[in-house]
Amino acid sequence: MMKRRLFQDLRREIKKDYGLTKKSIHFIPFEDWRTKLRDYRKDFREEYTGNLASLKTNLGFNRLPKIKNSHKKLILFVGLPGAGKTTLAKLLSELLPHTILLRGHDIVDSLDLFGKKAPLHKKRLKQRGFRYPDPWYISYLYQEALTRDLLSRGYNVVFDDHIRTRINRLGYYSLSRECGAKIIFVQINAPFSAYIKREEGKIDKKKIEFLANFTFQSQDINQEERRKYDGIIHVDGTSSISKIKRSLLREINSI
């Protein structure tokens, strides 16, 4: 049986095995960017419009024709960094017809959010109430706009990103309904120790605290959400990609 309360279980493991709690680390919350950036598009209309057009060109989306797809889907992930999300997202974009992969890193790099204008971005975020003004939050506005455009053109969209909070997941639920798309969450389950060892094969204090912070930021999918979403697929993050691929594709195609 797959874990239903992934982050609750991970928090217990972190406390038991590493003695870490939300209070014992430098906790950085994941902030409600939709509320805090509600007026960003309007306040910087010309810049925002230009950036969005540039992204569509750079990512090749402006050349995509409209298609008929009565079963279009928005596919999102829940889990921790190192869970295999990037591999699965790329796999789905290659194997599911009419599916576009959206990567946060591509948006951030294309807009150079951490370049020369990073201090300006941080200032704008701070003015909008962000406790931790990370320019990455701005990329979510563009990611959401690109998602809406792609779904409206008839394509499936899969994110190479983890959706950590209920309010954020419900925001994408509303977007999917606006575009007439189904919304599916893929939860990747694995013990905390597996995440730590996956990349380097050794335990690193900084890595432990980074993943602990991510865990404390994240919320499990609750009953209210389960009633709304079209599918919540649980996969075993310790299994081989080939095994996960077969079952994941079968479940997504059945929704």
Q: What is the pLDDT of residue 203?
A: 66
User: How far from 223 is each of 30, 74, 115, CA to CA, in Å?
Assistant: 22, 20, 41
pLDDT band at 179 (very low <50, low <70, confident <90, very high): very high
Q: What is the pLDDT of residue 3?
A: 54
Distance (Å, whole) CA 60 – CA 144: 17
Residues 186-209 pLDDT 10s: 999 999 988 777 655 566 788 899
| 151 within 8 A of 181, measured Cβ to Cβ | yes
User: Averaged over 36-65, what is the pLDDT?
Assistant: 97
Residues 61-117 pLDDT 10s: 999 999 999 999 999 999 998 888 999 999 999 999 999 999 999 999 999 999 999
Where in the chain are all domains bearing CATH 3.40.50.300?
1-21+71-98+154-255
pTM over 0.75: yes
Of all helices (H) and strands (E), which one includes residue 236? strand 231-236
Q: What is the pLDDT of residue 201?
A: 56
Assess whether pLDDT exceeds 60 at residue 255.
Answer: yes
CATH superfamily assigned to domain 1-21+71-98+154-255: P-loop containing nucleotide triphosphate hydrolases (3.40.50.300)
Q: What is the pLDDT of residue 198?
A: 65
Could you tell me which residues come within 8 angstroms of residue 234 by beta carbon, excluding any fewer than 6 positions away?
A: 2, 3, 4, 187, 189
Assess whether pLDDT exceeds 90 at residue 2.
Answer: no
The two tokens of residue 82 are: 């190192």
Among 2-11, 18-27, 214-223, the least confident range: 2-11
The two tokens of residue 251 are: 């479940």
